[in-house]
Structure 1
Amino acid sequence: MQLSNTSFSYGFVAIVVHWVAAVVVFGMFALGFWMVDLTYYSEWYQRAPDIHRSVGVLLFCLMVFRLLWRLFTASPDPLDGHKLWEVLSARIAHGFLYVLVFVAMASGFLISTADGSSVSVFGWFEVPSVTGQIKRLEDTAGLVHYWSTWALVALALIHAAGALKHHFVDRDKTLRRMLVPERRDD
């Protein structure tokens, strides 16, 4: 099994990390969207935010790994049929996806730790506050978190639409390269 990327294909590690991150981002968005309307008497009132925070910290770890993997492992070359504007817009979109996911995670962490408390990750370990108590930090961080998550999901949907366009309209290997590692160039 091809673990690392090649000039013509993504490797198993990049593919798995990509899809796990995508599922987690959309799952976290759905959970966050749902949990803000929970009432105090709901059995999920405490549990949903705890899950949201715990998964957020784990996603941060995965994204740091993903960023390091991307920095130290070559990405496949653009396909021959891709236009320059497609290559450039894909690179810009990927850059913004990374920025937005880290802004969303950092702002979410600041919401949870603005009172100086730490974040427990499923009871396994705790991540301490980096700010201590700062008045109204959770309000500002909450606003940043809200808009960055909406922007992240919107851009991820545009990204997915581009992949589907390449697959169904252009009929090229763009999407297939992110589904299964290739052993050789076709």
Structure 2
Amino acid sequence: MQIRNTAARYGWLAIVVHWVVAVAVLGLFALGFWMVDLTYYDDWYRRAPDIHRSIGVLLFALMLLRLLWRFLARAPDPVPTHKRWETLSAHAAHGLLYVLVFVALVSGYLISTADGSSVSVFGWFDVPSLTGRIQGLEDTAGLVHYWSTWALIGLVAVHAAGALKHHFVDRDETLRRMLSPARKDK
């Protein structure tokens, strides 16, 4: 297996990072959706937000590495059977996915640090507030976080539907390229 992408397939690093990000995004959304209804006396009232914030900070770091890797390792060429509009819409969707992930992560960070406090990442290290105390920041960031995460999940659903359409209807290599890494040339 090859770490780097080839003209035809993704390498194992891009594949692993893609699926880790996918699981983290879906998991954070599910956890966030669930935890907003917790009551003060629930055992998870403090633990769930701590886990949510910690994974969010780690996901931010992984997304920065993913973005760097995207610039260092070229993506495979489009599948030859794809129409031009499919290729252009895929590029636009991927760009928007990146933007929405970063907007959701930054707004989540701003919610947590609006009072000037830092974010503890599983007790391993703290990420300090960059803004200090800003009146109303928590509410504004909360709205941005809410709507960007819903938009992100909607776009993820479209992205997954497109991959499944290419796999089951078009029967092309689109999904298989993200499931099976490129092989090293012998």
| TM-score (norm: length of structure 1) | 0.98
Given residue 142 of structure 1, which amino acid in structure 2 is its aligned partner?
G
Q: Distance in 2 between the 1:50 and 1:182 partners?
A: 38
What is the CA RMSD across the aligned residues, in angstroms? Answer: 1.0
Q: Distance in 2 between the 1:80 and 1:184 partners?
A: 22
Q: Distance in 2 between the 1:31 and 1:119 partners?
A: 17
Alignment of 1:71 with 2:71, yes or no, is yes
SS in 2 for 1:126: strand
The percentage of counterpart residues that share the same residue type is: 74
Query: Is this contact kept in 1: 2:5–2:182, CA < 8 A?
Result: no
* Structure 1 residue 184, shift from structure 2 partner: 7.8
Given residue 143 of structure 1, which amino acid in structure 2 is its aligned partner?
L
Q: Provide the residue aligned with 1:60 in structure 2.
A: 60
Counterpart mapping for 1:44-55 below 5 A: 44-55=44-55
Aligned residue pair count: 185
* Structure 1 residue 182, shift from structure 2 partner: 3.0
Q: Provide the residue aligned with 2:142 in structure 1.
A: 142
Q: Provide the residue aligned with 2:97 in structure 1.
A: 97
Q: Provide the residue aligned with 1:3 in structure 2.
A: 3
- Name which of structure 1's ranges 156-165 and 176-185 shifts more when overlaid on structure 2: 176-185
Q: Provide the residue aligned with 2:118 in structure 1.
A: 118
Q: Provide the residue aligned with 2:157 in structure 1.
A: 157
Query: Is this contact kept in 1: 2:107–2:144, CA < 8 A?
Result: yes
Alignment of 1:172 with 2:172, yes or no, is yes
| TM-score (norm: length of structure 2) | 0.98
Q: Distance in 1 between the 2:108 and 2:19 partners?
A: 22
Q: Provide the residue aligned with 1:17 in structure 2.
A: 17
Any idea what the Cα deviations from partners look like across 1:10-45, whole Å, max 9, x if unmatched? 000000000000000000000000000000000000
Any idea what the Cα deviations from partners look like across 1:109-135, whole Å, max 9, x if unmatched? 000000000000000000000000001
Runs of 5+ unmatched residues, structure 2: none
SS in 1 for 2:163: helix
